[in-house]
Each structure stands twice: as structure tokens, then as C-alpha cells.
Amino acid sequence: MGRPATTAGDTKSPRSLRTSEHEGSMFAAPQYLAVRAQRGIYSEVLKPTSLTEVQLATRGPSGRVSVAGRNEIPFLPVGNLRSTGDGGRVLAPPVPHTVANVKPKVVEPFEQSPAHPPRKVTVERRRRLYASLNIEELLVERGINYADPQFDSQRWLPLDPFDDTTYDDRCPEEWILLGYDEQKHFLPLEAKGLRRQVGGSGTWEDCHVYSYDGESNMFAVRWVKDNRESDESVKLLRMQLLFKVEDPVKFADRLVAAHQSRRWAESLIKYNYYIDNMPTDDIKALGDPQEKRIAGAARNMQKIRQAKKLPVKALLQEINLMFARTMNKIAFDKHMNQNREDRMYRDLELPPKALPPPPPEFGLVETPPHDFTRLFAAFCVSSLYVRSEVIHALREIRAECNAVLTRCIYNVKPTKAMKLEEFKQTQRAAISQ
């Protein structure tokens, strides 16, 4: 029940009644004051036109007590967290996953450390970052456009042998193991695959990964369109498959490195083919002194010295051929650098030359830390200088050497001229003393 309700025509508020009683008095308040002094009273009665209900509402609650019997009280069973009872509402069963719930790989501790976000936050950020990147746009920025049918049409080497697996966070077998749940049931992995069209172009489309064949190094996938999976299974290489939880930037760099390595390999094959087919008739062969020096160096081995006859003619022919090829290579490199705009050299994209090894930081060979005193003591014990016989022999040798230094061995003061035989005899006598 609420407060007494008022209506526009049937009832008046107490303040309005008091105002009407003093209308004839000289102290009666003006009409506009009475209107401004009225206050609104809210009521639970929703029918202001019914006078009976309004009057009953102003009387207050009824004095009669309504008592319900024991049999009239409904019995409600006690519920708990595991059971909601007969009349309770239960949650709908969880929707089973149709694909594997795989999380991005992060290198973060499971226990949160100060000044670092939790592991779950890092995983979620990484997942959203990967989902926001478009692999086609990343490849176009790096000069790889599979939508163009003419892209890589001039390449004649396959791309798979040039794949750098160091870009991969997981090996192919580990990717497939991520599809198994706790009950050992396999669920396909979400990914994007390169789908080739009839005209030669390619697009990156959604697919589900089911298995991996180690012999052919290919994944079995099924294309997905409008959340519907096709029944046909196709084979894709690892470089044609981008997993949903894989870093698209790293995958794009991986494709760029493979394409660059293939271009270098094709250019090197052409480069060596040009040099091998250059004429060698006008190149002077090695001279006889050079061939003899090479043959002597080749025989200067203990096992080869024991051989009575060593055929070096075939070896010298091979060395002469390598020498002529080296001369052609020097001439070809010089001509290529001077005529870089020539059509034959324009398509050659050779890999950068290897940098020379850096000079050593120290002039001496650096040895690992060791106990020099202990090693020197062990060396002294293992040597012959600790035996008395060796020390006595060395002392006698040194005394004899010092005695030889003090006397004159040869007769350097002849008294007369003599023949050669007489001079030799005199020197032998001086030495034997």
C-alpha cells in the first residue's frame, strides 16, 4: 500500500482543504500560492478514475490476517552448486570445439613477475596481433605477389629446397601434436594456405590441417569457405601454409629468404655455365718448372714416396684445366663489371661476397684458464730432468763444451809453406790433441 492518492475532481489534499477554509478570511493566501504549495503524492492505484479503489487505498492495509495452511505451502527442494533441483534452470551444455584450441607460442614464465604482464595477457595480445595482420599485404610489401600470374614464371628451380627451417617455431610433427586434446582426440588446426588457380595466380584462403607426411614433407589440408569445410583433401608444402597462431611477419620473411636464395642459386648456375664454356685454347698452360714444382709437392708425402711409379700426368692435366678456368673467370668478372647493363649480365644476381674473417683481438693464441703451477709441476715430474743420471751427464757435457771453447782446435800459425797433404796432416794432429 502507498500513500493516500488524490484525483483532480474527487478528492483534495489536506493543504488545499486548509486553504479553502480560510478563503473568506482576510488572511487567506492567494490562489497562486496554494497552487505552488501543492506537492505530488505517488500511489499504487493505477486507475485514478475509480473512486472506490482510491478510497480503499487511503484507509491503509486490511486488519484481517490471511493464514495459509501447511498443505497450501509449496515444497521447494534445497539446491546446491552441483544440482539445481527440479524447478531450477540449468546452463546449456558447452558447444564442442570443431577445431583445435591452439595458443601462440610465447617465451614467458607461468608465474607472474613484477613489472611484467601475466602470461595470459601476453598470449592474448600476441593472438590479436597475428589476427590483425594480412599475409598477402605483408608479402606484397616485400616484393612477393602470388596474385600476379607472371610472378616467378621465369624461375625453373623448385622453392622447397631453399626453405630455411630456422624461421619455424615448431617442427611439423609438433604442429600436428597440438591438434590432440586431453582425450587424445584429434581436431584440425586452423591455417591459411596458398591455393593455386587455373591461370597461375594464387590466393591465401582458410583451411584446416589434418596430417603431415614426413616422406613428402607435405601437409594434408581441406579448404574452408563460409565456415563450411570441403570434402576434398589437398597436399601443401610448409612454405604454402600459415598457421593461425604463427607470426605472419616471420613467415613472410621466411618466404622472402627462400625466394632470394633461389634467385642466387639460379644466377650461380648460369654464371658457372658461362665460365665453363669459355674457350681455353688461347690460354697458355703452366710451364715445366711450375709442373715439376707441383709434382714434387704432391710426392712429398711418406706414403707416396714409397710408391715406385706415381702417375701425375692426369693430375697435371686437371691442374692446367683449373688454371685456364681461373684465367677465364678473371676475364669474365672484369667484363661483367664493366658492362653491367648488358642483357646477359642483367639477370645475374650473384650472392654477396663473403666478408674476410675479422683480425684476432690478441696477437697470441688465447688459451682457456688453467692452473699453470700445477701443470708445470706435473711436467717437471714427467720429464728426465729430475733424474740424477741425466743431471750428471748434462754437467759433464757442459764442462767439455766449455773446455773446447778455451782451446784452439786448428793450427792457425804455420811456420813455413807446405803442400796440401802436409797441411791436412798438420790439422789432423792439432785436432786430435
Give the tens place of pLDDT for each residue, 15-35: 444 444 444 444 444 454 444
Whether residues 183 and 315 share a domain: the answer is no
Whether residues 260 and 128 share a domain: the answer is yes
The burial of 303, by beta-carbon neighbours within 10 Å (0-12 exposed, 13-18 middle, 19 or more buried), is given as: exposed
Q: Is residue 429 part of a domain?
A: no
Q: For the residues 180-208, what does the mean pLDDT come to?
A: 87
Asked whether residue 404 carries a pLDDT value surpassing 80, the answer given is yes
The vertex-389 CA angle with 385 and 393, nearest 5°, equals 90
Whether residues 127 and 250 share a domain: the answer is yes
Number of domains the chain is built from: 3
Whether residues 31 and 53 share a domain: the answer is yes
Whether residues 242 and 282 share a domain: the answer is no
Last residue of a domain, one of 346, 381, 397: 346
The predicted-structure confidence for 43-86, as pLDDT tens digits, reads as follows 555 565 666 766 766 666 665 555 555 565 565 565 554 554 44
Asked whether residue 9 carries a pLDDT value surpassing 50, the answer given is no
Q: Is residue 39 part of a domain?
A: yes
The vertex-99 CA angle with 95 and 100, nearest 5°, equals 105
Whether residues 194 and 234 share a domain: the answer is yes
Q: Is residue 166 part of a domain?
A: yes
pLDDT interval class at 93 (50, 70, 90) = low
d(CA 278, CA 119): 63
Q: For the residues 407-429, what does the mean pLDDT come to?
A: 87
pLDDT interval class at 96 (50, 70, 90) = low
Q: What is the pLDDT, as a whole number, of residue 254?
A: 92
Q: What is the pLDDT, as a whole number, of residue 397?
A: 94
Domain range for 21 is 14-58
d(CA 335, CA 327): 13
Q: What is the pLDDT, as a whole number, of residue 4?
A: 44
Q: Is residue 339 part of a domain?
A: yes
The predicted-structure confidence for 352-361, as pLDDT tens digits, reads as follows 888 888 887 7
* 365 vs 130, more confident: 130
Question: Coil, strand or helix: which one is 243?
Answer: strand
> How crowded is the C-beta side of 428, counted as CA atoms within 13 Å?
6
- pTM comes to 0.57
Q: What is the pLDDT, as a whole number, of residue 411?
A: 83
Q: What is the pLDDT, as a whole number, of residue 392?
A: 92
Asked whether residue 105 carries a pLDDT value surpassing 90, the answer given is no
Whether residues 290 and 340 share a domain: the answer is yes
Q: Is residue 300 part of a domain?
A: yes
Residue of 265, 237, 236, 239 lying closest to 254 (CA atoms): 239
Q: Is residue 290 part of a domain?
A: yes
Whether residues 168 and 293 share a domain: the answer is no
Last residue of a domain, one of 225, 245, 266: 266
Question: Contact 165/113 with Cβ under 8 angstroms?
Answer: no
Q: Is residue 201 part of a domain?
A: yes
Whether residues 308 and 255 share a domain: the answer is no
- Give me the chain's average pLDDT, please: 78
d(CA 210, CA 227): 16
Q: What is the pLDDT, as a whole number, of residue 250?
A: 92
Whether residues 330 and 258 share a domain: the answer is no
The predicted-structure confidence for 337-389, as pLDDT tens digits, reads as follows 888 788 778 778 888 888 888 887 777 877 888 898 998 888 887 777 778 88
Q: What is the pLDDT, as a whole number, of residue 61?
A: 63
Q: What is the pLDDT, as a whole number, of residue 336?
A: 87
Q: Is residue 352 part of a domain?
A: no
Most confident of 48-57, 86-95, 126-135: 126-135
The predicted-structure confidence for 242-268, as pLDDT tens digits, reads as follows 999 899 999 999 999 999 999 999 989
Q: For the residues 277-286, what does the mean pLDDT come to?
A: 83
pLDDT interval class at 101 (50, 70, 90) = confident
Q: What is the pLDDT, as a whole number, of residue 87?
A: 47
Asked whether residue 201 carries a pLDDT value surpassing 90, the answer given is no
Question: Contact 163/239 with Cβ under 8 angstroms?
Answer: yes
Last residue of a domain, one of 266, 293, 310: 266
Whether residues 123 and 203 share a domain: the answer is yes
* 255 vs 290, more confident: 255
Whether residues 40 and 144 share a domain: the answer is no
Asked whether residue 394 carries a pLDDT value surpassing 80, the answer given is yes
Amino acid letter at 109?
P
